[in-house]
Amino acid sequence: MDMALEVIILPVTDIDRAKAFYQDKVGFHVDLDAEVTPGARVVQLTPPGSGCSIALAKGVPSPTGTPQPGTYHGLQLVVADAKAAYEELTARGLEISEPVQYGPQDGGTFMHFTDPDGNGWSIQEYRERAAKPLHKLLTELAEQSQ
């Protein structure tokens, strides 16, 4: 059985403020902004090149519990060039830490930011993604397993 992590519901206090933040400062694409049922709004945003989105929701029941805004930490984006990503994101007005190399290996450089509610994100430099984007790598792996 294949499973794909495609959407993470991100708890926020103000959907419009969070939508503007993720769209304008972080550069996510708005896939959906709709009232999906009466009184329930969902805004789904996807990072460029990603197969996983975040969803901001209001009025949507969660049978397993309701996370509180600002409690998510460890969400991680991956870029091929941390310095270029830092320059682009700061030019958009995002307050983000400068890239720090924790180890010399590919994947050892990180920077961090929080959204307006305090949900915490990391951005990891993984230079191999420039030559092997994740979606291409997954396609290759799937073809090999057939």
Q: Residue 116: left if φ>0, alpha if ψ -120 to 50, beta else—which one?
A: alpha
User: 85-95 b/e with 16+ CB inside 10 Å = b?
Assistant: bbeebeeeebe
The band of 51, judged by pLDDT with boundaries at 50, 70 and 90, is confident
The band of 135, judged by pLDDT with boundaries at 50, 70 and 90, is low
The 10s digit of each residue's pLDDT in 79-117 is: 999 999 999 999 999 999 999 999 988 889 999 999 999
pTM: 0.88
3-class secondary-structure state, position 118: coil
How far from each other are the two terminal CA atoms of the chain, in whole angstroms? 14
The 10s digit of each residue's pLDDT in 62-76 is: 899 988 999 999 999
| 138 contact partners, CB below 8 Å, separation of at least 6 | 51
